[in-house]
Structures are given as structure tokens and as C-alpha cells.
Structure 1
Amino acid sequence: MVTMGDVARLAGVSKMTVSNVVNNRAGVSEAVRLRVLEAIRQSGYRVNVSARTLKSGRTGVIGLAVPEIDRPYFGRLAAHVIDQARRRGFHVAIEQTGAAADGEIDAIAHSRTLQFDGLILSAVELDRRDQRLAGADYPIVMLGEQDFGGRFDHVAMPNEDGTKAATAHLIDRGCRRIAMVTGDVAGTLNVVTRRHQGYLAALAERGLTPDPALLVSLAGLTMAAGRDAAHRLVDSGHAFDGVVAVTDTVAQGVLRGLADRGLRVPGDVRLVGFDDVPESEFMVPSLSTVAPDHGWMAAKAVELVVGRMQAPLRPTGQHVAPFELMIRESTS
């Protein structure tokens, strides 16, 4: 069996250096790190995870469970979490929950079975009263809109404040008939209902009455659903001069749908999204959007889950990400 000493001799470094590289510790130059990794590849060396776990009590792995990997927002979040975890010497294992309570419970169970050191979970449907949470007694940080009553550390998006700022921006641009393209606002507490509250708050603050005809609900938060919503909105015959889309992905579909009906953005309708996914800056027109600080959220989540490993009994906390309103061509 190939040992760490064999790798050290092949790379021309000490065993400690190999250990530092394997455990992703600081203090190793990039050139040396690459030499050690090449020696590991050539030798076929494999880390004895069981032995390392017994010795340190940790596997060096943090779980990240998100609703859907193929959404731009969650891909971006995962990249940030991986970067922040690496800086602290951890690897990240990613799981998809399907935005369902069963999937979210499974992610918690799998993280324990696989002996992850902690879990960052973007919860959509999981309820704090769910009896299956009884075994969730190891480091977990919740992302998303659900309220777990202080049971877990929680990092939240600026949903209400961000959407309120986006809606107020449209009003400042002269819009008075502002539609919202979103999900089911009559549902449980989630990203859709929170962003809808921000929209209503901005209208109320500026003395505008929301028109139920301008609230367009979607079956799913996809580009196709956004395009269909824009078609329905235009075909309804109700006048509108602005649109708040619940996400940038939906906004991309709305832009396509408005173009299908011969409406120009921003000439006829101004459009704003939420999330600031990378594609937003490169759309034609480029999309004005609420930009939560994704890097801050990832750094805070990793900081909290690692802190929970070190101090399991410390009080939990809720943290809301800062945001910036990115003003681009779609509202200019």
C-alpha cells in the first residue's frame, strides 16, 4: 500500500508537507502543492479517511444541500461555498433536495450517515415542527426563508427589503402600473411570499394601490413560465408600465415574452429582477436586479457551521445578507 512517506519521497518534500496538502492547510506554495498532487496522482495514494476521522473526530467534509443544482443562483452559491470551505480546510459534498421536505430530511440523514462535519441546507419546504428534525443535533446552518424558531443558525436573503427597493426604483423611474410576476403568494412562508410583501410595501409607501390583475402567478420559477406570464399579462389588456420579476431567471423569460408581443424594454415596459445571476449583465437589454451579496452569504454560512463544530452549545443567530440594486438598461 502506498504511504504518505512514499508520496513525500516522490515529490521531494517532507511528510508534513504532504499532510498539509492533503488536508488543504495554509503555508504551502502553489508550486509545491501542485508537485505533491502530481505525486499523489502518479503513486495512486489514497487517504485513509476512517483513520483520519478516528484521530481527529472529523472527515473534513461539509455537506451543501440545495433545491436544484441546475439553477444559476444555486450554482453560484455552491461555487462560493466551495471557495470559502477550502479556505478553512474543508471539502464540500453537494446534494439536491428537489425543494421537498422529504429531500431536505434525507439530506440531513445522509450527512450524518456519511459523517460530514456539518451541513449547510437551503430549506424550502421543511417545517420546524417536523418530528423528523429530532435527530438534527449536529452542526447545521439553514439558508432560505423558513423560520426554525432559533433552533439552527440561519442565513437569509434580503427578500423583503430587496424587492421593496426594486419596486421603489421602478416608481422613481415613472412607473405607476407595476406588475409582479411570481409564484403562489398564497402559499406558506417562502421566497415568493416574502418578495411579494416587499413589492406591496413599496407600493403602499408611495401611495399606490396594488391591482390584483397585475399579479401574475407561475407554476414554476423558470424562463418558460416567465415568457408565458408575459404573454398572459399583455393579452389580458390591462395596462402596465413596469414588471417586478421574482427572480432573474423568470425575468429572462418575461423579457422574451414581452418581445413576442411587440413590447420594448425599457421603451414600453421597465423590468427588474432579483438575484443578479451572471447572465443578467449580458442580456440585451442588460437586466436591472437586486444583487444580494452571495459571497457574504457563503462566507457567513461556512463561518457559522465551522463555529458550531467548535462550540456546539453557543446560541444560534439569524443573519440577513446585505444587497445592492444593480441599475442597468432594462430600467434606464
Structure 2
Amino acid sequence: MGVSLKDIAKLAGVSLATVSNVVNGYRPVGAATRERVQRAIDQLGYVPNLSARHLRNGRTGIIALAIPELDNPYFAELAGFAIRQARESGFTLLIDYTNGDRESELTLAEGFREQIIDGLVLSPVGLTREEILNRRSSTPLVLIGESIYDVPHHHIAIDNLAASHAAVQHLVSLDRRRIAFAGAHPDAERQPAHLRLRGYQEALAAAGLPSDPRLVASTAHFVRSDGYAAMRTLLELPEPPDAVFAYNDLIAIGAMRAIIEAGLRIPEDIAVIGFDDIEDGRFSTPTLTTISPDKERIGTLAVSSLIAQVLGEPAGPPRDVQPAFRLVTRESTLGRR
């Protein structure tokens, strides 16, 4: 037989209602009484049955995080923070994978698996604003990622324009004048690639530098091989760039490989800056300068906002939240110090 609340109440010398209030956090309990109940809990080894508690409240205790990429370290790190926050809140987090496919995202947004999940954190790539506005599911939804939607749901994303400005301004401060952008995607008007390209172009204009379309390299995807191929194309120009701002760290790492293979030096010949601050960049050769989003806050805030909706707590009107970012300077722009 497992330990019951009655057993705890008997050992602590308090009422069953008091034990229930301590375990469930329903009402304030005096510090001395709470401590006595907690000692009894620890002594008896009581473990709350979260599944039963959720079922009594009409919930499953499971929420989902849907991400477009499984093999991107950025999303792996983000998911880790989200899992921790869910666990601390007494929920289980289910990871779903969309591959950035619009149909997969639409299926999830429309309530697929709504019988087994209480809410969804979604990082959409292909969904349109209208599809999110017209979703039929009542399952609580929080959006993450830098796509712009302007919809009545909490949306948590950093300011891509400001972050891109910071990246380019750093390169300009190092007297780089032919700054390339690797990772453009012509079909992504509302997506991060478009926003980061726009920020790059605006920063060049602010610095009084021309925007040369030949220095903008498009990629089909956003992985290392795409960065490698984009950099090889840029190196074939009559006047190659002296710096590269990459859409993400994976593209930057691929670009650095192409630069080194060409017999050029980083950063002496070409400086490189990425975006995401994944762990790979801290151990690459050279180490990678990057824009570092606050992944912990993004993951934590997304899950806590979703759980507040699931529990019916007052969460205020839907809002766009922009967690902080910072420029992390390393060897790929500053050299060895």
C-alpha cells in the first residue's frame, strides 16, 4: 500500500485538509505547520500521484512542444529548458517534429492529439497568419520563433532586426566593408531568414555601405552543408567578401570550412559571425562569434505561459514578448587574444 494523505496527517498531527492544502498549494499554511507536514512527507516518502490529480481536473498533465528541426542544436537546447520548466510545474512535455512542413504544422494547430495534450507550444515555419487566426481547436497555444504573425496568442521571440544590426555593426567596427549574408531564403517573407536579411541591409545602409546583391547567398536549408556551398559561391566572386554574417551558427560553421579549404585565414582574410550561440560554436576552430538569444527564457516563458492558460490562471491579454539577446565575440572575428 502506498502512503496516503491520511498517513501524513496522522504523523504530523494536523487535519487531512491541511495536508491537502500543503501538497496542492491551495491555501496559505503557516510556516511552522507547513514545515511539520513536510517533515512527515519526507519521513514517509510520499510521492504525489500527478496523473490522478490531472485527471480529476479534466487534464492529462501532458503538453507538447512542436519544433521544425530535430538535428539543429538550437532547438535541442531550447527543448531542454522547456522540459525542465514543464517538469517543475508537474507536467510532462511531449516533443513533436514538423520539419517546417505547413501541413504538419496545420494539423497540430488544428488540434491533432488534443485528446492527449493540454496545450501546445509551436514554432511555425510554413503556417500563415490566416491559418492561425482561423484554427478551430480550443487547445491553448503559445507561439515561439521569429516569424511575424500578429495573432491573438502569446508569441515569444527575440528582435531579429535589432540582433542583425548588432552583428553587422560589430563587423563594421572591425573595418570590414564587403560584408556578405549567407542564408537568404526568397520564399520566407515573414520568416527569420527574411528578417535577418532585412536587418543586415538596414545596418549596411546605416553604416554608409552599399548593399551588393552579389554578396547575398541564398540557401535551400539552414545546415552546415548549405553554409559550405554558399561560401564557395561567395569566394568565386571577383571581389570576395571580407566578412560574412550567417543566418545561423550551422551555416557559419559550414562557411568557415569552405574558407579554410580555400587557404584563407579567419578572421584575418574573412571574419565570420553566426546566430544562435549553439555549443558547437564554442568548440569550433576558430571559435565562433555569434548572436546569443536567451534560450532559457524563451523555453521557460513559453511553457509557463502555456501552463497558465491550461490551469485557467489570469494570464493577461495575448502579447508579443521579446527576450534579450547578446553579442558573444570570439576568435572568428577577433582572432586569438
**TM bin (shorter chain):** 0.7 to 0.9
- Report the Cα offset of residue 188 of structure 1: 2.5
CA distance in 2, matches of 1:93, 1:20: 25
- In structure 2, the partner of 1:173 is 174
CA distance in 2, matches of 1:131, 1:193: 20
- Secondary structure in 2 matching 1:92: strand
Q: Which moved more, 1:230-239 or 1:129-138?
A: 129-138
- In structure 1, the partner of 2:30 is none
Where do residues 270-289 of structure 1 align in structure 2 (5 Å cutoff)? 270-289=271-290
Q: TM-score, normalised by structure 2?
A: 0.83
Q: Is the 8 A contact 1:179 1:240 kept in 2?
A: yes
- In structure 1, the partner of 2:321 is 319
Q: Is the 8 A contact 1:126 1:146 kept in 2?
A: no
- Report the Cα offset of residue 61 of structure 1: 1.6
Which amino acid is the alignment partner of residue 331 of structure 1?
A: T
Q: Is the 8 A contact 2:129 2:151 kept in 1?
A: no
User: What are the superposed Cα offsets for residues 254-302 of structure 1, whole Å, 9 maximum, x if unpaired?
Assistant: 0001111111101110000000001111111110000011111112212
- In structure 2, the partner of 1:256 is 257
CA RMSD of aligned residues (A): 3.0
- In structure 1, the partner of 2:154 is 153
CA distance in 1, matches of 2:190, 2:133: 20
Q: Is the 8 A contact 1:105 1:133 kept in 2?
A: no
Structure 2 vs 1, CA of residues 81 and 269 (structure 1 numbering), >3 Å: closer, same or farther?
same
Where do residues 271-310 of structure 1 align in structure 2 (5 Å cutoff)? 271-309=272-310, 310=312
Which amino acid is the alignment partner of residue 174 of structure 2?
A: R
CA distance in 2, matches of 1:113, 1:257: 48
- In structure 2, the partner of 1:91 is 92
- Report the Cα offset of residue 163 of structure 1: 1.1
- In structure 1, the partner of 2:208 is 207
Q: Is the 8 A contact 1:158 1:292 kept in 2?
A: no
Uncovered stretches (5+) of structure 1, i.e. residues with no partner: 22-26, 41-46
Structure 2 vs 1, CA of residues 242 and 68 (structure 1 numbering), >3 Å: closer, same or farther?
same
- In structure 2, the partner of 1:24 is none
- In structure 1, the partner of 2:242 is 241
Determine if the alignment matches structure 1 residue 112 to structure 2 residue 103.
no
CA distance in 2, matches of 1:153, 1:170: 34
Q: Which moved more, 1:150-159 or 1:102-111?
A: 102-111
Structure 2 vs 1, CA of residues 133 and 76 (structure 1 numbering), >3 Å: closer, same or farther?
farther
Determine if the alignment matches structure 1 residue 329 to structure 2 residue 296.
no
Identity fraction in percent: 32
Count residues in correspondence: 309
Which structure has the greater CA radius of gyration?
2
- Report the Cα offset of residue 237 of structure 1: 2.6
User: What are the superposed Cα offsets for residues 125-181 of structure 1, whole Å, 9 maximum, x if unpaired?
Assistant: 111212894323231100123333332110012211111100110000110000110
Determine if the alignment matches structure 1 residue 103 to structure 2 residue 100.
no
